[in-house]
Amino acid sequence: MANITCNAVEEACDFIFLNENEYVGGRRKRPRGPNVNRSAGTRDIPQASLVLPTNRPNISLPQVLAPLLNDLALAYYSHYYVDVPRGLPEIIASHMKYSRADICHTHPKSILSLAIFAVSYATFGRAQKNSVALAAAASQYSKALVKTNTALTHTSEATSDEVFLAAMLLSFYENTVMDNTSQFFSQDIQATASRSFAHHDGAMAMLKMRRQLKDRTESSMELDKLVRRQLIRSLILRNLPVPLWLRDGSQYGETDIALKLDRCTIIVAKIRHQAASLFGKPVSPLAPGSPYELAKIQSLLAESQALDNCLMVWARELPIESLYTTHTLQESGISEKDSKIFNSTVHIYPNVGHAGMWNRYRALRLIVNDIILKALSSLVGFPEFNTASQLVATELKIEQLANDFCASVPYMLELFESQQSGENEMALSIKTPASLKTSVRGTTASLLCWPLTIATTVSGIPGSQQRYLRDRLLDVSEIVDDGVLERIAASFSPSYCTANIQDVSS
């Protein structure tokens, strides 16, 4: 985005973007790393930098094949990322439903169409290992970037649904084009996904401007709500609190159970940020001057415990049609590794949307209980605190949440099926698909992306459950064509990293 202040925008908006036009035009060499700037605006959140991909093959597509590639890529994008099963709860709705491929046929040169083309080519190219499609994706991304920069010089365009959606799609693109050819594998989500997060920060700046507009359409306000949900999940991944203007979900249309969970989510973001500051560095509670540190730990512990209770109340108050059942599969002779089912236990949900809702809830509680565990552990050295029983109780909570999470994954990845075993009885049998990529839609697997990524950051999850969840994150990264998730999951697997480093050096 350009380093310009949008016309007719008040200075209080701090809507500043970085100039990419000189890089696109070849007048300047692009610096390495994400191009992120900080403004003095909303809590010093870095504003967006829409960064051009690097090291993409320079391949031109024969004109006669271009329409065929267009159709294949758009069909792949629509089937895997836009079309969703009917009957899903609104609480897991995504902004992707506004990014339909139809616009690419009616307005092929619009900003949104170019962004959809970029994502379509990138996901299709990654899935098919097609360098021509990847090159086409890079070309469409560059065009979308130039048009976005131009649009940001005009308030009406900078706050339009089209540009807003394009920013989110270009974040999607950045996740997709991250490859595994580098020897760098990091468990630091902020570093690995920095280019994608830069787009999220730009979308956040746009959202702040959009909220100041009058006479909003219903679809625009709905879009604000759906994008806000993803932006909040992005902030939690980065250990950042939610800025004040973004906190009240009721102002964005959240209601009922979604609003109650949203309020808990805002507090999760706050205490995760506090915990990262408090426990992110070596803490010695017994050192001189520790009473102040002790008071902060106690305050964080009390708030975390209260929040965990609120989350449990939220789950208990869910309507019966949102509940799930737990089943144990009969011995099948298939190993756990091949079946991808943990401890022979599975959940059955009303639909994948409810499974996604429950897993976001579990991810929040895992964060909270991990913070409680760290706070209790830091109080062990103080004789006036007897935390032994609370530590055991918290560890058991984390283990149960992890077990429930593991039991939900087979349902979402369609790893078992129901079969008639008697006149009025059904039995569950394990399925072993040749490829999850071809059997599971991206719209389903995407509901696992954020919860599974959160699970990789929770240190209190027992080893066997954590290995299972990290392995499933690697599976999901392939299903949703996400290079960032692949890197995060692979960073925990020495054998995977070694194999890819050997591939690079050979």
The pLDDT tens digits for 432-478 are 888 999 999 999 999 999 999 999 989 899 999 999 999 999 999 99
Out of 216, 251, 286, a domain closes at 251
What is the bridge-based pairing of β-strands 37-38 and 46-47?
antiparallel
What is the pLDDT at residue 302? 97
What range does the domain containing 118 cover?
11-251
Whether 497 maps to a domain, the answer reads no
Q: Do both 236 and 313 map to the same domain?
A: no
Whether 439 maps to a domain, the answer reads no
**CB of 267 within 8 A of CB of 304?**
no
How far, in Å, CA of 267 to CA of 140, rounded? 39
Whether 451 maps to a domain, the answer reads no
Whether 502 maps to a domain, the answer reads no
Out of 433, 461, 484, a domain closes at 433
Q: Do both 243 and 391 map to the same domain?
A: no
Going by C-alpha positions, the residue among 235, 367, 212, 227 that lies closest to residue 303 is 367
What is the pLDDT at residue 63? 52
- ∠ CA 293-299-302, nearest 5°, is 140
Q: Do both 338 and 394 map to the same domain?
A: yes
How far, in Å, CA of 359 to CA of 136, rounded? 36
Statement: the pTM of the whole predicted model exceeds 0.75:
yes
Number of domains in the chain: 2
Whether 67 maps to a domain, the answer reads yes
Q: Residue written as tokens 């690079």?
A: 504
Strand partners, 351: none
Provide the pLDDT confidence category of residue 413 given band limits of 50, 70 and 90. very high
**CB of 85 within 8 A of CB of 351?**
yes
> Range with the lowest mean pLDDT among 91-105, 225-239, 339-353, 377-391?
377-391
Out of 384, 402, 433, a domain closes at 433
Query: 3-state class of 428 per DSSP?
Result: strand
Provide the pLDDT confidence category of residue 136 given band limits of 50, 70 and 90. very high
Residue type at 387 in one-letter notation = T
Q: Do both 31 and 47 map to the same domain?
A: yes
Whether 224 maps to a domain, the answer reads yes
